[in-house]
Structures are given as structure tokens and as C-alpha cells.
Structure 1
Amino acid sequence: MTGYYDYVLGLIPLALLGLTGGLVQTSLSLTQAVPIAAAVAAGIVGHAMFVRAPVTRSSLPSYDGGETRQNSAVHSAD
């Protein structure tokens, strides 16, 4: 089953190669097309990292009322 991040991994090289080729075909030079396509790929990566961050509910820290800084025992390395 493919998920969002599988599509992101497929879109990165597609954006770099496909968009570069498409921009070169529209009379942009290669040195102009590559940075534009790289910016789009970086935007895709940024969206995947910061807008839809890969965080699950179980990985979020929760407070259970147990140990706190005041009542936790200090363990010595010696």
C-alpha cells in the first residue's frame, strides 16, 4: 500500500528530471532550468518534513505523573 511519503520519494526525481526537461523544452537554458526544478523538489521535501511531519500518536511524549525532576533518583556512573 503506497502512502504519502512513497509518493514524495517518487516526486523528487520526477520534479528534478521531468521539470528540468520540460523547462529546457520551453527555451530556458539548462543552467536556468536546473535551479528552478531543484527549488520545486526542495519544496516537496520541505512539505513532507514540516507540513506533514511523519509523527505518529504513539511517539509523542505523554505525562504519566510518575517521575519528575524533583523526585527522580540520581544514578551515578561509578
Structure 2
Amino acid sequence: MAQYYDYVLGVIPLLLVGLTGILSVAGLAFTAALPVGAGVAALVIGHALFVSIPTQPTAESTEPTQRVKAE
């Protein structure tokens, strides 16, 4: 199942290329549209790194649970 960071990795190139293309077609010069697209992609990366902080699994969650036999 895809998680948040999988979506972020997919959205980065879409924003960079797609937003730049849309702004260029809309009449903005390519040299002005490219920094706008890159800026929005950078904001998404910043959100993924600093707002929705990636966490590492703890030692407790990575160890298998032990079952106790009923005697």
C-alpha cells in the first residue's frame, strides 16, 4: 500500500514539469515558470521533511511478539 512519502516522490516531478508547462502555456515566460514550479516542488519536499516528519520504527515494534504457551 502506498504511503505518504510514496505520493510525495510521485508529486515532485509532476509539479516541476506539470506546473512549469501549464504556466508556460498560459503565457508566462519559461524562465519565470521554471522557478515557480521548482519552488512549489520545494515546498512539498519541505512539508514532507519538516512538517510530516519521517520516523524510524522503534526496537519494540520491530521485534516479533512472544507467545506464552498455556499449560
| Residue of structure 1 in register with 2:19 after alignment | 19
| Residue of structure 1 in register with 2:6 after alignment | 6
Paired-residue identity, %: 53
Structure 1: tracts of 5 or more residues without a match:
60-78
Greater displacement, 27-36 / 49-58? 49-58
CA distance in 2, matches of 1:17, 1:2: 22
CA distance in 2, matches of 1:57, 1:27: 47
Structure 2: tracts of 5 or more residues without a match:
60-71
The count of corresponding residues between Structure 1 and Structure 2 is 59
Residue type at the aligned position of 2:19: L
1:25-53 CA deviation, whole Å, 9 max, x = no partner?
Answer: 11000000000000000000000000001
CA distance in 1, matches of 2:46, 2:37: 14
Task: Find runs of 4+ consecutive structure 1 residues off by over 2 angstroms.
Answer: none
CA distance in 2, matches of 1:57, 1:8: 20
* Normalised TM-score (structure 1): 0.71
Residue type at the aligned position of 1:23: L
Which residues in structure 2 correspond to 1:1-78 (within 5 Å)? 1-56=1-56, 58=58
Q: Which has the larger radius of gyration?
A: 1
